Amino acid sequence: MHLATLVEMIESGYPDRVLVGGGPGMPLDGSDIGDTVRRGATTLAGYSSVVYVGENQARLPCLVLSAVWAGVPFVPLNYRLEDSALQCLIAAQDNSVVIADRRSASRLGQRATIIDDWLRGLTTSPPRHEPADNPDEVAILLHTSGTISAPKAALLRHRHLMAYLLGSVEFGSAGPDEAALVAVPPYHVAGMANMLSNLYAGRRLVYLPRFSAESWLRTARAEGITHAMVVPTMLARIVDHLGGATAELPALRSLSYGGAKVSERVIRDALAAFPDTDFVNAYGLTETASTIAVLGPDDHRAAVAAEAPEIARRLASAGRVLPTVDVEIRDEAGEAVPLGVRGILHVRGDQISGEYATGSLLDAGGWFCTRDQAMVDEDGFLFIDGRADDTIIRGGENIAPAEIEEVLLGHPLVAGACVVGIPDEVWGQRILAAVVPASGATLTAEEIQSTVRERLRGSKTPDLVVFRESLPHTETGKLLRRVVAAEVAATKPSLVQS
Amino acid sequence: MSIIVKPGTRLHSAVCDGQLIVVRAPTEPVELTIGGVPALTAPGDAAEKARQGHDGGTAVGKRYTDGAAGTIELLCTKPGEGVPALDGILLEIKTPKPLPASD
């Protein structure tokens, strides 16, 4: 199936319903979008890709869907990249049309068309009536966040994204009063999925150009937002901004979060700050066309209320895998392991792309190796320990850094924590914890070590502790362990010895 | 009249403006009708009249399947009067499995 079908459906299903609100030339209902997209497609047809450099904005859905209708891959780039990195990614797209917001366009010179001008010019552009219809063509090309290595260009074909929509969203399921706040940037898979699934459900899209806790709360209030999706750093900042007060957003029915590991403390604080809101944790990767597992509102409530540790710990799980996705946990030899045993998460299904510009990584059976260390419990709840590549092997024992970080983040005076393995002649690797103390707090290495020793077994106690003012993250909140590890490697071990 | 359809095939109606798209289909030819009249794989002029019992109407976004057998699934992309049927038996609306909004 092709994403152009989505355009036809919102046209015939929501002709008079406002689907995109806010900003000049808005709002747009289903008919407006259909008309704009046909004209927009005429201007984009013939190019090999449509590159977008800029912030989130209400003009985006028409640009993306015009590219879809024309059958031209849409390539959103991270506008925060340095000029040279950005130019390099643009140069990699042959025969592309570059569209940018005003601010980014000024950096790109003659090469870019400002999105406002593009949209305004469409009134004189003739409509292209026939939609593209090859489901095997690339719909969206996204650069993965590159926590392990350099960013890779992941390819999402029309059939992957349509499979995701058909498998997880019901057309027309949103009431006419519902509105979704899009805060995740367009170059992130969640930003793209957020747009497509809300349009399909019939929910009005409201865009937040750049995130701050204050502007998010203000916009949610002003626009009567009923649904929102955030990445963990955003959730942590909102909770921080509220400082123990409740959010006062009675209209907000659903708040979903995902995109990186979130600390259990942040979730518990968030649940208290949004007492009337349903929480959803979504787990997915760029290569899986967004969400593949969901921890729903009832799961959250059950985990918070539970006394039994095996239920309570589900608050930190990724929930249950979608019925349309097959899952297998495999050991290092590639053999499937039973429920409750840790291994590497493999997934298969119509929405799983597992493909990069350099080739497909799907195995002969169609499985994609996520490189995430994971476990599925007896009731089907998926627990993600972190990237397999981050696993520390100390004296032959596999240690997931995320588990130690979670313990450290539970300490009231710890604002940030990053655990990495550093080379050691005796142990193979030893455990180093880089800790950011809460503002004004003083901590000692011994306090950090005893905090871990009290909760986890002795072999997981950090051998070395360093204190830092901040930790490097990707824009969407993923901790960049490899950067911390590289910085430590460049330092003399004697300086970091606790 | 049997036709071969596959995922992505667009089906037009000879009795109305309705359109459906094939989500899942058997590989062998199928006896598919819309409004009781053979489904078309190209736009027609909707000159026929819907047969009685096949005129209950379709709704955009609804998925039509042959129930428990689940051999065929059609997604309505444009509503119309004619209801799809396989071998003369009306397809049913598939009940959605409720999933929380994840994005």
For residue range A55-105, what is the model confidence (pLDDT) as tens digits? 999 999 999 999 999 999 999 999 988 888 889 899 999 999 999 999 999
Helices marked H in A2-125:
4-13, 30-44, 60-70, 83-91, 102-108, 115-121
Which pLDDT score is estimated for B36? Answer: 95
Q: How far apart are CA B95 and CA B64, in angstroms?
A: 9
Which pLDDT score is estimated for A146? Answer: 62
Min Cα separation B79/chain A (Å): 8
Neighbour tally for A468: CB within 10 Å: 15
Q: B68 touching A, CB under 8 A? A: no
CB contact under 8 A, B61 and A171: yes
> Is the CB of residue A451 less than 8 Å from the CB of residue A408?
yes
The number of helix segments (H) and strand segments (E) in chain A equals 17, 26
Interface A-B, measured as beta-carbon pairs within 8 A, has a size of 76
Q: B47 touching A, CB under 8 A? A: no
- Alpha-carbon distances, residue A276 vs A2, A249, A259, A270, A481 (angstroms): 37, 8, 23, 11, 36
* Chain A residues touching residue B60 (CB < 8 angstroms): 9, 12-13, 171-172
Q: How far apart are CA A478 and CA A147, in angstroms?
A: 7
| Portion of chain B with pLDDT greater than 90, in percent | 77
Q: How far apart are CA A230 and CA A266, in angstroms?
A: 13
Tell me which residue of A279, A220, A289 sits closest to A254, measured CA to CA: A279
**Average pLDDT for chain B:** 92
**CA A143 distance to own-chain centroid:** 12
Q: Which residues of A222-258 are buried (b: 16+ CB within 10 A; e: fewer)?
A: ebebbbbbbbbbbbbbbbeebeeeebebebbbbbbbb
Q: How far apart are CA B58 and CA B55, in angstroms?
A: 9
Closest residue, chain A, to B103 (C-alpha): A194
For A272, the enclosing helix (H) or strand (E) is helix A264-273
Tell me which residue of A432, A411, A409 sits closest to A484, measured CA to CA: A432
Which pLDDT score is estimated for A148? Answer: 57
Q: What is the pTM of this model?
A: 0.88
* Sheet with B32-34, side-by-side order of all strands: B37-38, B32-34, B84-86, B89-90
Per-residue pLDDT reduced to its tens digit, B61-74? 999 999 888 899 99
DSSP assignment letter at A167: H
CB contact under 8 A, A193 and B61: no
Q: B8 touching A, CB under 8 A? A: yes
Which pLDDT score is estimated for B76? Answer: 97
Q: How far apart are CA A479 and CA A409, in angstroms?
A: 13
For A365, the enclosing helix (H) or strand (E) is none
Q: How far apart are CA B95 and CA B77, in angstroms?
A: 17
Q: How far apart are CA A70 and CA A482, in angstroms?
A: 40
Q: How far apart are CA B3 and CA B34, in angstroms?
A: 13
Q: Is A316 helix (H, G, I), strand (E, B) or coil?
A: helix
Which pLDDT score is estimated for A494? Answer: 44
Best residue of A5, A162, A170, A295 to probe chain B, by most B CBs closer than 10 Å: A170
Closest residue, chain B, to A194 (C-alpha): B103
Identify the residue with better confidence: A439 or B77.
Answer: B77
> Is the CB of residue A70 less than 8 Å from the CB of residue A49?
no
CB contact under 8 A, A171 and B102: no
* The token pair that represents A230 in the structure block: 């955030």
DSSP assignment letter at A337: -
CB contact under 8 A, B23 and A1: yes
> Is the CB of residue B40 less than 8 Å from the CB of residue B13?
yes
Min Cα separation B19/chain A (Å): 10
Q: Angle at Cα A194 formed by Cα A373 and Cα A211, nearest 5°?
A: 90
- First CA to last CA distance, chain B: 43
Residue from the list A9, A173, A256 with its beta carbon closest to the beta carbon of B103: A256
Which pLDDT score is estimated for A495? Answer: 40
Closest residue, chain B, to A5 (C-alpha): B77
Which pLDDT score is estimated for A491? Answer: 73
Low pLDDT (below 70) residues in chain A: 22-24, 145-150, 492-498
Q: How far apart are CA A466 and CA A453, in angstroms?
A: 17
CB contact under 8 A, A172 and B60: yes
CB contact under 8 A, A290 and B60: no
Which pLDDT score is estimated for B70? Answer: 85
Q: Is B71 left (phi over 0), alpha (psi -120 to 50) or beta?
A: alpha
Q: How far apart are CA B39 and CA B93, in angstroms?
A: 18
Q: Which residues of A touch B (CB under 8 A)?
A: 1-2, 5, 8-9, 12-13, 133, 135, 166, 168-173, 190, 193-194, 197-198, 200-201, 227, 229, 254, 256, 258, 278, 280, 282, 290-291, 294, 296-297, 322-323
- What is this model's ipTM? 0.92
* The token pair that represents A141 in the structure block: 């090309």
Closest residue, chain A, to B94 (C-alpha): A170
* Chain A residues touching residue B100 (CB < 8 angstroms): 254, 256, 278, 280, 294, 296-297
Q: B24 touching A, CB under 8 A? A: no
Min Cα separation A442/chain B (Å): 39
Tell me which residue of A206, A207, A280, A266 sits closest to A234, measured CA to CA: A266
Min Cα separation A231/chain B (Å): 11
Q: B100 touching A, CB under 8 A? A: yes
Residue from the list B60, B77, B103 with its beta carbon closest to the beta carbon of A193: B103
Residue from the list A12, A290, A323 with its beta carbon closest to the beta carbon of B77: A12
Q: How far apart are CA B16 and CA B49, in angstroms?
A: 8
Min Cα separation A342/chain B (Å): 25
Q: How far apart are CA B12 and CA B80, in angstroms?
A: 10
> Is the CB of residue A433 less than 8 Å from the CB of residue A406?
no
CB contact under 8 A, A294 and B97: no
* Chain B residues touching residue A279 (CB < 8 angstroms): none
Q: B23 touching A, CB under 8 A? A: yes
> Is the CB of residue B78 less than 8 Å from the CB of residue B17?
yes
Q: Could you check whether the bond before residue B29 is cis, i.e. omega within 30 degrees of 0?
A: no
Give the torsion through C-alpha atoms of A150, A260, A367, A357, to 10 deg: -30
Which pLDDT score is estimated for A147? Answer: 60
Residue from the list A9, A135, A168 with its beta carbon closest to the beta carbon of B102: A168
Q: Name A313's bridge partners.
A: none
